Structure 1
Amino acid sequence: MYKQLTFTLGLLAASLAFAHDQGAVEEMPPASPYVQVSEVLPLPAFIPGLGTLFVNPDTLPAGPFLGYDHDGKLSATIYMTPLEELENGVSYDDLGIGAHKVTSVDIYYNAGHPGVEVPHAHVVLFHDEAAKGRLAK
């Protein structure tokens, strides 16, 4: 577990150094190559805690997934890193972020869901103080 947490924190630090064109993703929908996850997978349009998700399919499984609130504002960047891959030494380098400002980070386990069916860690970067609340419901 310690190795996974260390890797995830390293992943977070590396991701903060690399960002998308922030202006192109601030409001929903982001430009191509991003697709709305709920339009390509059997998931709801809005997922409580994550928002309305968009992802570049070429960056799966890790992402970044861009999470938008009900008003279409970018609120979070989410990574979904399979635990087995992390345990086997796979690294995800130079992952993008939706916005340079990150006010808090949550990391938690997910047993799997459409798109990332295997157990994985969600790493959620919130982009402003109220983002977590706006994405909660």
Structure 2
Amino acid sequence: MKLVPAALAMLLAGSLPALAHDVPAEVVKSPPAGAFKAVSSLVKLPDFLPGMGQLFVDPASLPAGPFLAYDHDGALVSTIYMLPVKDLNPDKRFEDLAAPGGNVDHVDVYYNAGHPGVEEPHVHLVLWHVAAADEARVAQ
């Protein structure tokens, strides 16, 4: 039946990741609109962090975020969550983490002992919106 392939196509289309054109205009370029503030305006950190980029966060979402990370040209490259290690246990869940930048190309997870703004040990969950080869855009 032709109905089955059409239904399957609709189901698959609904499950595909967001495409770049689906990225909300308010986050495509820095500074993002809304409640997002430059992290460097909130805590004693440089405006651009090598390996991460220029970070923006809604202060109400701290400590986890999301943090929006931009390259030197102001283009969004990743969404970062900073999840406290103490909260990574069977009693705590992090559900429905948003990827405001749309399509997620790949994900990195790594430990951080703490830094200004998120002093306690935490895990960085980095949702890259660019290919691994393009991570160099925030390398320095």
On whether the aligned pair clears a TM of 0.5, the verdict is: yes
Aligned mates of 1:131, 1:91 — CA distance in 2:
31
- Larger-gyration structure (1/2): 2
What's the secondary structure of 2:116's corresponding residue?
coil
Return the TM-score normalized by structure 2. 0.79
- Mean Cα deviation higher: 125-134 or 41-50: 125-134
2:136 equivalent to 1:133:
yes
Give the 5 Å matches for 1:87-98.
87=89, 89-98=91-100
**Deviation of residue 89 (structure 1)?**
2.4
In structure 2, list runs of 5 or more residues that go unmatched. Answer: 1-16
Higher relative contact order (CA 8 A, sep 6+): 1
Provide closer, same or farther for how the CA distance between residues 78 and 70 of structure 1 changes in structure 2, counting only shifts above 3 A. Answer: same
Provide the alpha-carbon RMSD of the alignment: 1.9
Does the C-alpha gap of structure 1 residues 22 and 131 become closer, same or farther in structure 2, counting only changes over 3 Å?
A: farther
2:112 paired with 1:113: no
Aligned residue in 1 for 2:3: none
The match for 1:102 is 104
Q: SS at 2:123's partner residue?
A: strand
The structure 1 segments of at least 4 consecutive aligned residues displaced by more than 3 Å after TM superposition are none
TM-score by length of 1: 0.80
State yes or no: 1:42 paired with 2:44. Answer: yes
Query: Please, which of 53, 57, 60 is the counterpart of residue 58 of structure 1?
Result: 60
| Cα-to-partner distance string for 1:42-87 (whole Å, 9 max, x where unaligned) | 0110011110000011111111000000000000000000001113
Q: Note the C-alpha offset of 1:112.
A: 0.2
Identity level (%) = 50
Corresponding residue pairs, total: 120
| Deviation for aligned residue 1:94 | 2.3
Counterparts in 2 of 1:88 and 1:42: CA distance versus 1, 3 Å: farther
Superposition pairs for residues 53-92 of structure 1, below 5 Å? 53-87=55-89, 89-92=91-94
Q: How does 1:11-26 map to 2 (within 5 A)?
A: 22-26=24-28
SS at match of 1:53: strand
Letter in 1 for 2:138: L
Q: Which runs of 5+ in 1 are unaligned?
A: 1-15
Would the alpha carbon gap of residues 76 and 93 (structure 1) be closer, same or farther in structure 2, given more than 3 Å must change?
same
